[in-house]
Amino acid sequence: MKNVVLFGPPGAGKGTQAEVIKLKYDLFHISTGDVFRNNIKNNTDLGLLAKGYMNKGELVPDEITINMLSEVVEKNIHVNGFIFDGFPRTESQAITLDKLLGKFNTSISGMIALEVNDEILINRLLERGKGSGRADDSNREIIENRINEYYTKTAILKTYYQRKNCYYGVDGVGSIEEITSRIVDAMSKL
Ligand code: AMP
C-alpha cells in the first residue's frame, strides 16, 4: 500500500493536487475538511459539533476528528492506498494514524509538503472565498486564525516525519501542472 500525507498550510493547494494525484496513483482520497463540510450540509451530529470550530478557523478537537478518520480508514482498508489531505494536523493525530495503519500492517510511505509563503496563502484563500461559499475563506481574520492554528499546532509535524526520514518538501508556487510534476517527482522517492 502507498499511503501519502499531503501536507501544507491552508491555501497551499492540497485539495487541488490530491484530486490529480489520487487518479494518477489510484489512491483513496480522504479530506477531513470535506467530510466535515458534508456532515454540516447534511445536518448530522458530527456536522453540528464541527461547525462552530470551523467557522472560527479553529481545529476541530482531536477526539472528534480521530474517531471520524478512523472510521473512514477502517471502512476502506482494502484500497490500493490512501492520500490524506488535511490530516494529521496535530501530533496526537499523527501518532494515532501510525497506530491505526499499523493495525493493518501498513504505514505512511511519506509526507509531501506544499511550501507556500503566508501572503500568497491569504490572497489565494480570499480569492477562493469569493466563489466557494466557504465561511472560513471569506474573512481575513478567520483565515489568519487558520494559518495561526497551522503554525502553533500543525507545523511541528514536519519534524515528526523528518525523524522518520519520510518528509518531502515541494515548492507550492507555480501552475497546477508544475506543482503536480514536483509532487510526482517526490512520489517516485517513496
Ligand atoms: P480544510 O478543508 O482542510 O482547510 O479544513 C477546514 C477546517 O476543517 C479546518 O480549519 C478545521 O476547522 C477542520 N479540520 C479539517 N481537518 C482537520 C483535522 N485534521 N483536525 C482538526 N480540524 C480539522
Q: pTM of the entire structure?
A: 0.96
Mean pLDDT of the chain: 96
Q: Grade residue 132 by pLDDT with cuts at 50, 70 and 90.
A: confident
Establish whether residue 59 lines the binding site of ligand 1, counting it when its CB lies within 6 angstroms of any ligand atom: yes
Q: Is 172's C-beta closer than 6 angstroms to any atom of ligand 1?
A: no
Instruction: Give the per-residue pLDDT at 9.
Output: 96
Ligand 1 centroid distance, CA of 85 (Å)? 9
pLDDT at 60 > cutoff 90: yes
Does the CB atom of residue 40 touch ligand 1 within 6 A? no
Q: Is the C-beta atom of 89 inside 6 A of ligand 1? A: yes
Domain ranges of the chain: 4-187
Asked if pLDDT for residue 135 goes beyond 90, the answer is no
Distance 183 CA to ligand 1 centre (A): 22
| Catalytic machinery residues | 14, 89, 128, 134, 146
**pLDDT band for position 182 (cuts 50, 70, 90):** very high
Task: Give the Cα separation of 148 and 189 in Å (integer).
Answer: 31
Query: What are the pLDDT digits (tens) for 109-126?
Result: 999 999 999 999 999 999
DSSP code for 153? I
| Per-residue model confidence as pLDDT tens digits over 16-58 | 999 999 999 999 999 999 999 999 999 999 999 999 999 999 9
Ligand 1 centroid to Cα of residue 185, in Å, is: 27
Q: Selecting from 3.90.550.10, 3.40.228.10, 3.40.50.800, 3.40.50.300, what CATH number does the domain 4-187 have?
A: 3.40.50.300
The share of the chain scoring above pLDDT 70, in percent, equals 100
Quick one: pLDDT at residue 39? Answer: 96
**Ligand 1 nearest atom to the CA of residue 57, by list position:** 10
H-type alpha helices, 26-90? 32-41, 45-56, 62-75
